[in-house]
Amino acid sequence: MKRVVLAVHGGRTAEGAAHVARLLSERTGACIDAVGVLEPAPAIDLGYGPVFLPDVATEEAADEELRHELKHQLALAGLGTLSPSILHGGRVSSLAAAAKGADLLIVGIGPHHLVNRALGGETALHLAQCASTPVLAVPARMRELPRRALVAVDFSAASIAAARIAASLLGPGETVELMHVTDAPRPGRRSTPTPPIDVLRELDRTAAELMAGLTPERRVVTSTLTGSPARTLLEAALKSGTELIALGSHGYSSWQRLVLGSVSSKLLRLADCAVLIYPARCVS
């Protein structure tokens, strides 16, 4: 890992992301680009007079205030030597553009205000849906790198790539669990209590390939479960004490996400641990 982009905004929800970025840089030697976004100030119409448009002086003051807040946040995370870049524009589009070519985009994930997340008002969620860079969403309270990762494996190229990145975040001897979740049978259909033998063989093959590429070695285990993928992953992570859930994203359209949802969206809304999303569009 050579370069990571850290999204900071001075608020509490970016604190964990900043700490994790520092620890990851110390472990891998990756360069950190700290980035904040100053979105355009809206015109203000009070309803009884001329519209107020922010002038240059107002925008410069906002820029300086944000820069001060970012430097303070970085210093608290042990990154006081970094000079943050401030971009101007839409938050999600600016961060996605800044992260192009990076190995990882690290962002904070906010408190679990269910209504806000259900409406999609979460930067990490939108970035996972549109960025061309793997996205690591980190809870505000996180202060250590993960020691155990749970990877949802469907044998797509994106899920295998997610497993490799998840393993790279761990230390020697720490555990990567590759889990294949089979959807629960629908009413009226015969259940399959055990996974097909080819799934088990494919999991073993994937685990062997992952282990062969890890230096130093991590512990790789496999498992299969049946159920709703998002709920099954969340329950398994909670039971095992997992600090990171990783998976590949298939890049559903906005309409598909609205009607069907996606596993990655549900995990970003509901998980208590860090979530790594490897978008399918990143696979070359």
Could you please state the CATH topology (level 3) that the domain comprising 146-284 is classified under: Rossmann fold (3.40.50)
Torsion of CA 106, 160, 30, 3, to 10 degrees: -70
pTM of the model: 0.87
Please give the pLDDT value at position 45: 67
Given the DSSP bridges, would you call strands 85-88 and 148-152 parallel, antiparallel or unpaired?
unpaired
pLDDT in tens, 127-166: 988 889 999 999 999 999 999 999 999 999 999 999 999 9
Residue 237 banded pLDDT, cuts 50, 70, 90: very high
Peptide bond into 172 cis (omega under 30): no
Rg (CA), the chain: 20
Half-sphere exposure of 37 (CA within 13 A, CB side): 19
Tell me whether the CATH fold assigned to 1-144 matches the one assigned to 146-284.
yes
- Any idea where the domains of the chain sit in the sequence? 1-144, 146-284
pLDDT in tens, 89-130: 999 999 999 999 999 999 998 764 444 444 444 788 889 888
Lowest mean pLDDT among 32-36, 56-60, 112-116, 148-152: 112-116
Half-sphere exposure of 7 (CA within 13 A, CB side): 28
* Residue range 1-144 in CATH 3.30.70.270: no
